[in-house]
Chain A
Amino acid sequence: MLTVVAIVFFGRLALNLFVWQAEYPLAAPFAKLFTSEPFERRDLVTYAVTCIFGAAWIVTGLVLEEAVYGVLGTVVLLFVGLGLLRRAILQRFPDLPYAQIFIACGIAFALFFPIVSYALESVFHLGLPLRYWFDLSILILTYVMLGWGLNIVVGLAGLLDLGYVAFYAVGAYTFALLATHFGFGFWMCLPIAGAAAALWGVILGFPVLRLRGDYLAIVTLAFGEIVRIVLLNWTEVTGGPNGIAGIPKPTFFGLPFSPFAEGMTFSKFFGVPYDGLYALIFLYYVILVLALLTNLVTLRLRRLPVGRAWEAMREDEIACRSLGINTTLTKLSAFATGAMFGGLAGCFFATRQGFVSPESFTFIESAIILAIVVLGGMGSQLGVAIAAVVMVGGFEALRHTAGLQAIFGDEFDPALYRMLLFGIAMVGIMVWRPRGLVSSRAPTIALGDADTISGDLVRQGRG
């Protein structure tokens, strides 16, 4: 503990003495790793000194057999190294479509990650924690989908909705009730859950249409709570706080995964031994397809009149009305579309858990989804996806914290600080990037080659 403080302290001091002159802020060379400003000579000195310190930490870690120093040193080296690599690539190939390449890599990774890791595991028996990985990635993808769904309402239409979780709940309970009372399957209930949530979107949308800004936010928050409290108290139908259990898993084109199912099962049909991971991998692909569907529909809608009207409404509602656009219907369509995707995600949530209860649909869920949209950059599909991965993955990473405990002592339980760190991250983003990670807006149509539009010009809506 003491040594870490000492090393950090002396590292800072050395940097200050040799590198940091008065008009040269320490952060500047590190900020340049993320931009394309030209380097100065002293930047290179800073990088060199930083790398030497990183290497020194690693050596210290190896000598003292303390993992913390090793991890810290590696992080520092990777940070500077990858940053410089990025600059080098940018300098070499300035015109590559980096965003597209990044997106393509992301989608390819999402598509192949479960198959490849499962294949590796079954061939080499590496002891990878696959069940945990798949569970976590399913969770992340659920939030990506919810973020994209809410992005329609908040990011495109500019309507601040603090009660989005209500639609998630409607979708989940629709499926839970239909499945337990009428024996409907997942695939049949999926569209019904989406439609039910969309209907709720319209029903909730009507009374709040005249409200703007803070008032809209407060009333949508209240609606979210009303839905949860109704679920909690309407015991005869919803089971109250006990929720509804025994929700069926999805089938693979009619073939159940469970080894206890009667008749044909997935394992028997394909002649492979039963493995619980199959069902998990299947769930992974279901949510991946649902999330990508949300994304594709949103991207398509943006290029259709209704999507342009949503964005125009976010930019200036009065101008919209002066152009003959019925903003009431336009707002309702945004609420309904966003709600529909929330409902689909809710239906998936119910089948994944096999159990729903009001506890899963508290205000904090709405807040997390909204934070994903705001941190990602309102309206940006890519930003929302990155924010979902970082936030949900980050929350999860806080549970694996041998390193942090080595620094702060053994009693330190980072899970307790989740909300604090969440808040700090929010404040940090608001200071550093007030418009979210990706703030620029891509035009929906162009005569020639259109650039993206700077975030300074794009409005965020007041309703």
Chain B
Amino acid sequence: MSEGGAKPWDTDPILRVEHLTMRFGGLTAVDDVSFSVGREDITALIGPNGAGKTTVFNCITGFYKPTEGMLTLDADGGDPFYLERLSDYEINADARVARTFQNIRLFPGMTVLENLLVAQHNVLSRASGFSFGAILGLGQFGRAEQDAVDLARSWLDRIGLLPRADEAAGGLPYGDQRRLEIARAMCTRPKLLCLDEPAAGLNARESEALNALLQTIRETDGTAIFLIEHDMSVVMRISDHVIVLDYGKKIADGTPSDVRNDPHVIAAYLGVSDEDAQALEARP
């Protein structure tokens, strides 16, 4: 594990995960994992298949109740949110954590635009007087909906899907669906965006466009990004901070270059046995 002075992500993290453990019956999918996600970083969570990455995401976003551990989301200014105490929809609505899924979960029978409007449900619902007002024609719903459409339109422009706004989301090509899912998550105006394998199944060009999109989200929207990724080259290129899981345990945590040279990581990725790893470690 990389030692050394305090890392930037530890001094002012947006998310602090402490002693997170998740057991399914006898299986410990995540075992006492602690790390921090920096406020202005792109943080990557990597590890072999079945290492427990998605389980960590599900704990953070409330889809699983952690067996043990504490998840503190510290949005700037206000009181921190203790995510393990909130339910899944509150984590998005109140703590402002948005996520995408490893197997894309769009609303396939709704149009691209409708997908982005559903993401703005809470804002619109309040503006419509929880629909009681708007059904009687009261309130500012028209204005609010126009604003929502404008936000959706600007996101569609950014992901290049504006010409297909009125098509069914389920009919889009795979790469477009991945980007739409990210745009939909961003339409909830999150402080932290969690992406589960966003580059899976993308070709080189699409993967390049995705990197650019993530960079602009970090820079112009001020949203911290926490992503799971398989493709090491993508991870090395765009992330500021990498956490490595193997068999539910954290085996490395540091900058991409720290992690790349970490013998445990090399062992985990190349399938080298532990003794060999220790031998590697022992080398000067």
Residues of A within 8 A of B (CB): 297, 300-301, 304-309, 311-312, 315-316, 318-327, 333, 441, 443-451, 453-454, 457-459
Instruction: Tell me if B131 and A446 are in contact (CB < 8 A).
Output: no
Cβ-neighbour of B131 out of A305, A443, A454 (below 8 A) = A305
C-alpha spacing A451/B167, complex, angstroms? 8
Given A324-B92, A325-B122, A457-B171, the answer on whether A308 and B114 have CB atoms closer than 8 Å is yes
Cβ-neighbour of A305 out of B98, B124, B153 (below 8 A) = B124
Cβ-neighbour of B110 out of A311, A323, A451, A454 (below 8 A) = A311
Question: Which A residues lie within 8 Å of B210 (CB)?
Answer: none
Apart from the given pairs A324-B121, A333-B131, 11 other A-B contacts in the complex at a CB distance below 8 Å: A308-B114, A309-B121, A315-B106, A315-B108, A315-B109, A322-B99, A323-B119, A324-B93, A443-B111, A447-B149, A457-B109
Question: Which B residues lie within 8 Å of A297 (CB)?
Answer: 135
Given A311-B107, A312-B107, A323-B119, the answer on whether A445 and B114 have CB atoms closer than 8 Å is yes
C-alpha spacing A300/B131, complex, angstroms? 10
Cβ-neighbour of A453 out of B92, B111, B121, B184 (below 8 A) = B111
Instruction: Tell me if A450 and B166 are in contact (CB < 8 A).
Output: yes
Q: Please give me the residue from chain B that is nearest to A312 by CB atom.
A: B118
Instruction: Tell me if A320 and B118 are in contact (CB < 8 A).
Output: yes
Instruction: Tell me if B114 and A444 are in contact (CB < 8 A).
Output: yes
Jot down 17 A-B pairs with beta carbons below 8 A, ordered by A: A305-B121, A306-B130, A309-B118, A316-B105, A319-B107, A320-B118, A322-B92, A323-B89, A323-B121, A326-B89, A445-B113, A447-B162, A447-B165, A448-B165, A453-B109, A457-B108, A458-B108
Interface flag for B43 (CB, 8 Å): no
C-alpha spacing A316/B124, complex, angstroms? 20
Question: Which B residues lie within 8 Å of A447 (CB)?
Answer: 113, 149, 153, 162, 165-166
Instruction: Tell me if A445 and B117 are in contact (CB < 8 A).
Output: yes
Interface flag for B211 (CB, 8 Å): no
Given A305-B121, A326-B89, A445-B113, the answer on whether A318 and B107 have CB atoms closer than 8 Å is no
Nearest 5 A/B pairs, CB to CB: A458-B109, A324-B93, A324-B92, A315-B107, A457-B170
Interface flag for B125 (CB, 8 Å): yes
Instruction: Tell me if A446 and B113 are in contact (CB < 8 A).
Output: yes
C-alpha spacing A308/B92, complex, angstroms? 18
Interface flag for B168 (CB, 8 Å): yes
Q: Which of B149-170 contact A (CB under 8 A)?
A: 149, 153, 162, 165-166, 168, 170
Map CB proximity to A onto B84-104 as digits: 1 under 8 Å, 0 otherwise: 000011101100001101000
Question: Which A residues lie within 8 Å of B101 (CB)?
Answer: 318-319, 322
Question: Which B residues lie within 8 Å of A318 (CB)?
Answer: 63, 101, 105
**What distance in Å separates the Cβ of B248 from its nearest Cβ neighbour in chain A?**
23
Question: Which A residues lie within 8 Å of B135 (CB)?
Answer: 297, 300-301, 304
Question: Which B residues lie within 8 Å of A309 (CB)?
Answer: 118, 121, 125
C-alpha spacing A281/B110, complex, angstroms? 41
C-alpha spacing A306/B133, complex, angstroms? 12
Instruction: Tell me if B166 and A443 are in contact (CB < 8 A).
Output: yes
Q: Please give me the residue from chain B that is nearest to A441 by CB atom.
A: B109
Query: Quick one: which of A316, A318, A323, A448 has the most chain B CB within 10 A?
Result: A323
Given A312-B118, A320-B118, A321-B88, the answer on whether A446 and B166 have CB atoms closer than 8 Å is yes
Cβ-neighbour of B125 out of A306, A321, A441 (below 8 A) = A306
Q: Which of B193-245 contact A (CB under 8 A)?
A: none
Interface flag for B54 (CB, 8 Å): no
Given A318-B105, A322-B105, the answer on whether A448 and B166 have CB atoms closer than 8 Å is yes
Q: Please give me the residue from chain B that is nearest to A309 by CB atom.
A: B121
Cβ-neighbour of B121 out of A308, A316, A457 (below 8 A) = A308
Interface flag for B267 (CB, 8 Å): no
Instruction: Tell me if B63 and A319 are in contact (CB < 8 A).
Output: no
Instruction: Tell me if A327 and B89 are in contact (CB < 8 A).
Output: yes
Instruction: Tell me if A325 and B109 are in contact (CB < 8 A).
Output: no
**What distance in Å separates the Cβ of B42 from its nearest Cβ neighbour in chain A?**
20
Q: Please give me the residue from chain A that is nearest to B135 by CB atom.
A: A300
Interface flag for B61 (CB, 8 Å): yes
C-alpha spacing A201/B111, complex, angstroms? 30
Instruction: Tell me if A457 and B113 are in contact (CB < 8 A).
Output: no
**What distance in Å separates the Cβ of A96 from its nearest Cβ neighbour in chain B?**
21
Interface flag for B128 (CB, 8 Å): yes
